[in-house]
Structure 1
């Protein structure tokens, strides 16, 4: 399996398909998933002539099950090392959910010439947890509940998330796919419990406000209005105004996992932004 070994010895697994002289697109997955969550997008953009890359964040998928470094500074540093190892230039970085936070944190710090555009899909920025400065956020008790459920019975917790709010399968009339549920569970269980536990703090409490303000490339913000995991009102609707060159695109009734449930809509919209 292709991996790089980053500064602290962690091995980061990645997929790398397509012509090496084509425009690179780097995909950043959500918690607690892996690069496999992007298979539908990677196949689509490979067919359109792009060079596609997706990595398993440390502690996730096939990367080292780290007990340290499971926070945004290290996640972004790992991405920078992968980008340097593959010598990616003028890349487009696409992040979903936690991966959107990773994109914002990395792109705000990227070397000149490395990044051309970015996309945040159902992404956690600017900050999820409720506080005096973020009164519309989710109470810390929500994330404490995630941690408790993970520690008590991670396998059942992951099954419940996938079968319920992640894809909107808990909505009346939803087109439920057992294969999609099983694939989400499979990816989650590949990763490390400690890393996943720590990542809850990383995605819920990191404040990406200054990252968003610092990004100087075009950014497409995509969000479903029925996102039950990262509610749009406290995410995309607040992130977009902070961006210098941001475009907001919302999707009526789409769930958090819309890249899977509505790939037929999301992929062409991404392609339009890539080629604009």
Structure 2
């Protein structure tokens, strides 16, 4: 059973949370990538709860079903939003899993909030320690401000290494278009300007790094850098994936995640 509800993270701003199998034995909190929503993890939510896990999907402010204020699109505030959800749900001893920009938010959560409640961390093609190059950011900003559907199609076309059907591509594109235009652009700027090098040594829990070898969004070399810097980290390359191993190699992905959770 999945339960959806809203959590207030500051005055006038609520974020959407989907809680699947609330009575599960271990809790995994999922943070989606830019500019998507918790629904990107459909192929985990179909499997992991049936294995006995509780899955909590959070839409960041500005994305998915969450409120879309004009402010708050920086790593500190986004990490603070996650801390509000953790407090509201009274989560403890949970696994925090973040994809792409969600991985960057997870890293800032670990450093800013001393990993409150987190027993293990999963970083999936995380946008760290850097995000977009200035050239990529400027191209995406231009499209976001003039033809956001075209920008989202560009994102979709470069996201996956494996073939995706037209219906899947259309579904994925619509996930991104549920975001606000201003939040979409603001996070592009965040990914261009913010760096997370200083955060990585502050991660003290066992960390699983999953990264597609063919990732064109966040190069595999960044996973190698994180692996060198994060103590007690394990890197698992996904040889047949681009930026989306959670779908491209979903059966192996779910197996690796479940084995790491224990």
TM bin, normalised by shorter chain, reads: over 0.9
Following superposition, which runs of at least 4 residues in structure 1 exceed 6 angstroms of deviation? none
Per the alignment, residue 187 of structure 1 pairs with 175
Q: Is the 8 A contact 1:3 1:14 kept in 2?
A: yes
Gaps of 5+ in 2: none
Pick from 178, 185, 190: which aligns with 1:197?
185
User: Counterparts of 1:253 and 1:40 in 2: how far apart (Å)?
Assistant: 17
TM-score, normalised with respect to structure 2: 0.94
Q: Over residues 200-237 of structure 1, what are the superposed CA-to-partner deviations in whole Å (9 max), with x where a residue is unaligned?
A: 1223322111221001100011111100111111x101
Q: Over residues 159-189 of structure 1, what are the superposed CA-to-partner deviations in whole Å (9 max), with x where a residue is unaligned?
A: 2321x11012xxxxx4332222112111111
- How many correspondences in the alignment? 259
CA spacing shift, 1:48–1:21, aligned 2, 3 Å: closer
- Offset of 1:111 from its aligned partner? 5.4
* Local SS of the residue matching 2:215: coil
Pick from 133, 142, 149: which aligns with 1:148?
142
- Offset of 1:92 from its aligned partner? 0.1
Per the alignment, residue 213 of structure 2 pairs with 225
- Offset of 1:260 from its aligned partner? 1.1
* Local SS of the residue matching 1:27: strand
Gaps of 5+ in 1: 130-137, 169-173
Q: Is the 8 A contact 2:16 2:59 kept in 1?
A: yes
Per the alignment, residue 160 of structure 2 pairs with 167
2:243 pairs with 1:273: no
Per the alignment, residue 216 of structure 1 pairs with 204
Moved more, 81-90 or 39-48: 39-48
Q: After TM superposition, list the pairs within 5 Å mapping 1:69-218 onto structure 2.
A: 69-110=72-113, 114-129=117-132, 138=133, 140-162=134-156, 164-168=157-161, 174-218=162-206
User: Counterparts of 2:196 and 2:49 in 1: how far apart (Å)?
Assistant: 31
* Local SS of the residue matching 1:247: strand
Q: Over residues 29-86 of structure 1, what are the superposed CA-to-partner deviations in whole Å (9 max), with x where a residue is unaligned?
A: 0000001001111221101111110111100011111210011111000000000000
CA spacing shift, 1:113–1:127, aligned 2, 3 Å: closer
